[in-house]
Amino acid sequence: MKRRTLLKLAPAALAVGAAPSFAANLIAEDPIISYVRQWLAAFEAWGEASARPDGGNFDLPIHLEMDCIKDAMEERMKATPITTAAGFAAFCHYVQTDQHFGADSEGEQPEIQLWQWAKIKEWSEVRAA
């Protein structure tokens, strides 16, 4: 079933007491979103620690702790399929942040990790079918 069809059916399904699993799937958050949020929070804390006078070597305990969180969230993202458009948008935001894409980026072809590209390709192939 296509997403638009599901969204059209959601109010009616909930009104007539559709199966809880069907209703839950309509409103469930893509797990990728939570992993991205946690990664972004760790990235922000890492950056704040780096701005401290003693943070320039990136070896403070907070750096190491935030690196562990970011690594764990990346491992979860690698292992978890993206299931919603919101999850895909969150993942793209993560990639943009991780790869430092922005107004001051240089070059026409920014670097991207192979697993990140594979995740984007997987999402697009599933949606194209």
pLDDT value of position 13: 40
Q: Does the model's pTM come out above 0.75?
A: no
d(CA 35, CA 58): 23
Q: What is the pLDDT of residues 35-89, one digit of tens each?
A: 999 999 999 999 999 999 998 889 999 999 999 999 999 999 999 999 999 999 9
d(CA 62, CA 64): 5
The three-state secondary structure class of 45 is helix
What are the CA-CA distances from residue 5 to residues 10, 33, 38, 87 (Å)? Answer: 9, 23, 31, 19
Residue ranges per structural domain of the chain: 29-128
Which whole number is the average pLDDT over 15-36? 67
What are the CA-CA distances from residue 32 to residues 39, 74, 91, 109 (Å)? Answer: 10, 10, 7, 25
d(CA 92, CA 52): 29
Q: What is the pLDDT of residues 92-118, one digit of tens each?
A: 999 999 987 766 666 666 678 999 999
Contact between 77 and 94 under an 8 Å Cβ cutoff? The reply is yes
**pLDDT classification of 19: cutoffs 50, 70, 90:** very low
Q: What are the tokens at 72? A: 């764990």
